[in-house]
Amino acid sequence: MTRYLVDANVLLRFLRNDDPVQSPRARALMARAQRGEVVLAVSILTIAEVFYALRTSYKVQRPAAAELLSQLLLSDVLEIEQESILADALARIKVANVDLGHAVLAAQAAASGDPVATFDRDFTRFPDVRCHQWG
């Protein structure tokens, strides 16, 4: 079976359905994956790129962008790198309204038990994350 590494633009065209040529192609590719004809692999970095584009280009608020990406994760159509960390991070965004980078780091810290070294106070919003603030 063919395995594709999916670029952010394909996911954005699928989620936004805003391009008359590319959006139908993205939907067709997702449908092929849903039927088990292909495997679509997505890196956590690609998800971060989609999140950033939703926030900056489309002006989607953080919790709404996180919800949109959470629905994509729940579809089980994609093979997502660090899926459990990403799911946790997206849930954290919906609750604490932080950026994806901080949410992923918080999810990783919670999973590993390692404290976060930071100058940022965002991490104090997560009771399950230990942090060492340097500033």
Q: What is the DSSP code string of 113-134?
A: -PPEEES-SGGGG-TT--EEE-
pTM, 2 dp: 0.91
Residue numbers of the domain that contains 7: 2-133
* CATH code at position 13: 3.40.50
Structure-block tokens of residue 126: 């997560």
- Render pLDDT for 63-107 as a digit per residue (tens, 0 to 9): 999 999 999 999 889 999 999 999 999 999 999 999 999 999 999
If one counts the domains in the chain, the total is: 1
The pLDDT score that the predictor gives to residue 122 is 87
Structure-block tokens of residue 54: 């939703």
CB contact set of 73 (below 8 Å; sequence gap of 6+): 80, 83, 86, 87, 90
